[in-house]
Amino acid sequence: MKVIVLGAVGYGDIKEIISIQRFLKEKGFEVIDQFKNLDYSYVEDFRDKKELCEKIIKNDLKYVSEADVVIFLVTKPSFGAMAETIFSYLTGKYVIALCKDKVKSPWPIYFSNYIVKNESELIDVLKNIKLKDLKTIPNNYGEVEIELTYRDFTCICPITKKRDVAKLRIRYIPNEKLLEYESLKRYFKKFEDKELYHEEVVNIILNDLIRIIKPKYVEITAEFEERSNVKATVRKCWKSKGLNHEGICYKEG
């Protein structure tokens, strides 16, 4: 699990960020150091430094993207740390707000999964976090229909013990959550060495999606490569109670 520590770099919190980084390393966590190639804490005024600004933003977002967990030191106001926190939250990462003092803004609290008040509570939360196979992001776009295709799905046939290959297609109408694409790829990779029947594959994926994203409608189609001169396509869908949508689905309730 990779963690990154964010805070008010330009407003005097660089020492506190480094202190928390060192503390987490001592506790055995893998800490991303966004300052190893670019320390900009010395800059007093960015108004005439457009190129440096671009370099810093690209650097910071690169390292934030690599993290599984973001720790936001909510001490002094920080435009950059708040923007990075919102970016992290909306891309499905865990965000922990470390608030040692009173917080007079709702923003860092709203965009955090956990609120802790000291280093001891921080360690307790980090130890209890289990990285999800499937990550989600908030649906801020209303009712849309989404179709996702994955062409490299594999599992093991329980009968022949040979590898089955399939193209998977997910169609869904989201409710409050959207699937995050990169985590979907990692989720599918976990099937590679499992012995599963075709129908079992579709059932597992469908049930996981219902549980994690709670969609209004979801349909899974698995097109397996030909075996013994037979090409199998397995399809199953589900819709929430009261939803009018085409397809033979089992319904909520």
State the span(s) of the chain assigned CATH 3.30.1130.10. 136-251
CA distance 112 to 97: 6
Q: What is the mean pLDDT of residues 163-178?
A: 95
Give whichever of 9-23, 121-135, 236-250 has the largest mean pLDDT: 9-23
CA distance 4 to 95: 10
CA distance 58 to 67: 15
CA distance 222 to 197: 11
**181-206 confidence digits (pLDDT tens):** 888 888 999 899 999 999 999 999 99
User: What pLDDT does 75 receive?
Assistant: 83
The one catalytic residue in 164, 208, 237, 249 is: 164
Q: Judge whether 3 and 32 are in contact, CB under 8 Å.
A: yes
| Mean of the per-residue pLDDT values of the chain | 90
State the span(s) of the chain assigned CATH 3.40.50.450. 2-128
Q: What is the mean pLDDT of residues 171-183?
A: 91
Q: Which residue has the higher pLDDT, 92 or 252?
A: 92
- Give Cα 121 distance to the centre of its chain: 23
Residue 209 CB burial class (10 angstroms; 0-12, 13-18, ≥19): buried
**202-218 confidence digits (pLDDT tens):** 999 999 899 888 999 99
User: What pLDDT does 159 receive?
Assistant: 92
With 60 as the cut, is the pLDDT of residue 23 above it?
yes
Residue 147 CB burial class (10 angstroms; 0-12, 13-18, ≥19): exposed
CA distance 183 to 226: 28
Q: Which residue has the tokens 């480094």?
A: 18
User: What pLDDT does 249 receive?
Assistant: 60
User: What pLDDT does 131 receive?
Assistant: 62
Handedness of CA 211, 215, 219, 223 (dihedral sign): negative
Q: Which amino acid is at 188?
A: F
Q: Strand pairing of 163-173 and 136-138?
A: unpaired
The band of 41, judged by pLDDT with boundaries at 50, 70 and 90, is: confident
Task: Tell me the CATH class for 2-128.
Answer: alpha beta
Quick check: is 237 catalytic? no
User: What pLDDT does 47 receive?
Assistant: 94
Quick check: is 157 catalytic? yes
**122-165 confidence digits (pLDDT tens):** 999 998 886 667 888 889 888 899 999 999 999 999 999 999 99
Domain 136-251 has CATH 3.40.50.2300: no
The band of 228, judged by pLDDT with boundaries at 50, 70 and 90, is: confident
What's phi and psi for 101, nearest 5 deg?
-125, 180
User: What pLDDT does 40 receive?
Assistant: 86
The one catalytic residue in 33, 157, 208, 249 is: 157
User: What pLDDT does 196 receive?
Assistant: 94
With 80 as the cut, is the pLDDT of residue 24 above it?
yes
